[in-house]
Structure 1
């Protein structure tokens, strides 16, 4: 085969492979973002950590049923509304629940649609509806005052929490290992593809923060192997005052564990300073 012909065939194959890869990225984005089947079943409950709790079921405006736990703390000074990341379920966040209990904060933690024992399948609009349903459960069913609620989001949960913080008036917003947006993350992971054109998801935490009026606490690790440290810094820069940045240690999924006491002390001080 002549060299030019071989080169032409190679170029055609490369273009086809590129288009196929772009197509996979476009049509299967949800599978790249959500991992509800990673530890799908509830592994443990707060009782296994020595904590009393109330199982909760809440309904969303579009008919899904969300499963969660309300974990009361003795002499509680506030309530944490917890938004977990894109993998696993509420039973994989017991370290957080135990920490907040020790610090005397109630915790309401729930699974998004399609996660754990919640019904449905995850989507970006769906997670926002889930967040609104969780907020209404605390403020209407439990009569919790908004200025006693702390929104806490880890990773993807931070984008959901920031979205809610724009629409409601929580006492403060906490972002742990959170990205600026899905297109920003996609551009980092697939720099050779036009991700910003292909993305069907936003989860634009950075944009939300520009409209948040509550105090903001941002925690991120320079060793985060999934979400770049620079994205955590960008979120902090965009946040309103008062705000605080805590530099963690360790990777994306273990930064909290590697800095447990420092994390708890710094977070507790910031919350107590800003609970109105």
Structure 2
């Protein structure tokens, strides 16, 4: 995932405009339909017309009083790579609403920090106001995976700045990083000479400090892509009065959902007494 970007730090021949998308947004642009198993679970693909052009969304409404998980994916692969996660959420009764970023999974536009945030805000507003999503009426929990954690915090900042009164009930951050420059610093040391290449800062710690929504951070202690110190920094900075961090002993960056934490994590996300 984010470790991918450090492979390019020596490519000085690239202009900043050329390098920035390659470093941070190595998406799979391939558009795929939900698998037969996901389709059987109710997942459908939707087309929306957003600020950057077409936005592809995979979605299925919740059962009973469970919330909808507004899922923001990481920077590798596409929506189809999260097919199994979406089915697990659905099996537990959660709704899923997963927009694809510009340049990913068939969505149009050029990826950037501003473009991703404007796209997911448009998707969130559509979830709340578009008649075709009437079955999703109810609480919404933001779930951000790796880069998606930064996108989720940017979304909350944008919603609050717009005066939106229908905010999410809480936010879950999986393996968040405090900022792009902090990630680079942790990986290669002093980044003074290469700092200008990062046109997008994704300063999650700063955004978390200004946020008051309930927060759950989950992070693998063996994560070598986004070290757990990054997730701890976001958690420590968060202004949320109600917050929790789950440090998963044997998990790395890609196997958190296979580490036996789902029952506890889904319990928090279900908005019950132990929840957000």
Q: Is TM-score (shorter-chain normalized) higher than 0.5?
A: yes
Match of 1:170 among 161, 168, 171: 168
User: Structure 1 unaligned runs (5+)?
Assistant: 1-18
Q: Distance in 1 between matches of 2:204 and 2:266?
A: 20
Q: Which runs of structure 2 are paired with 1:24-35 in the superposition (5 Å)? A: 24=14, 26=16, 28-35=19-26
Q: 2-side partners of 1:91 and 1:34: how far apart?
A: 17
- Identify the structure with the greater helix proportion: 1
TM-score normalised to structure 1 length: 0.82
- 2 CA distance for matches of 1:173 and 1:113? 22
The match for 1:51 among 18, 38, 41 is 41
Report how far residue 186 of structure 1 moved: 1.6
| 1:153 has 2:154 as partner | no
Bigger Rg over Cα = 1
The alignment status of 1:131 with 2:120, answered yes or no, reads yes
Question: Could you tell me how far apart the structure 2 residues matched to 1:192 and 1:266 are?
Answer: 36
Moved more, 116-125 or 82-91: 116-125
Distance 1:199 1:45, change over 3 A: same
CA distance, structure 1, for counterparts of residue 117 and residue 98 of structure 2: 15
Q: 1:46·1:52 contact (CA, 8 Å) conserved in 2?
A: no
Give the aligned length. 252
Tell me the residue number matched to 1:252. 253
Match in the other structure for 1:199: 198
| Structure 2 unmatched ranges of 5 or more | 1-8, 160-166
Could you say which residue in structure 2 is the equivalent of 1:213? 212
* In 2: Cα distance, 1:223 partner to 1:46 partner: 31
TM-score, structure 2 length as denominator? Answer: 0.82
Shift of 1:164: 1.1
User: Relative contact order: is structure 1 or structure 2 higher (C-alpha 8 Å, sep ≥ 6)?
Assistant: 2
CA contact (8 A) 2:102 2:109 kept: yes
Q: Paired residue for 2:5?
A: none
Q: Distance in 1 between matches of 2:177 and 2:191?
A: 19
- The 8 Å contact of residues 187 and 196 in structure 1, kept in 2 or not, is answered as no
Any idea what the Cα deviations from partners look like across 1:228-272, whole Å, max 9, x if unmatched? 110111111122121111112322122222x1x423323323542
SS across alignment from 1:202: coil
The structure-2 alpha-carbon separation of the partners of 1:56 and 1:36, relative to structure 1 and needing over 3 Å to count, comes to same
Report the equivalent of 2:61. Answer: 72
User: Displacement of 1:73 after TM fit?
Assistant: 3.6
Give deviations 1:60-100, integer Å, cap 9, x for gaps.
224x1111111124325211110000111111112221221
Q: Secondary structure at the match of 2:218?
A: strand
Contact 2:117–2:158 (8 Å) recurs in 1: no
Q: Report Cα offsets for 1:23-78 as digits up to 9, x if no partner.
A: 648451221111113xx43456153243112321112224x111111112432521
Match of 1:9 in 2: none
Q: Say if 2:120 is the partner of 1:117.
A: no
Give the conservation status (yes or no) of the 8 Å contact 1:220–1:232. yes
Change (3 A) 1:60 1:202: same
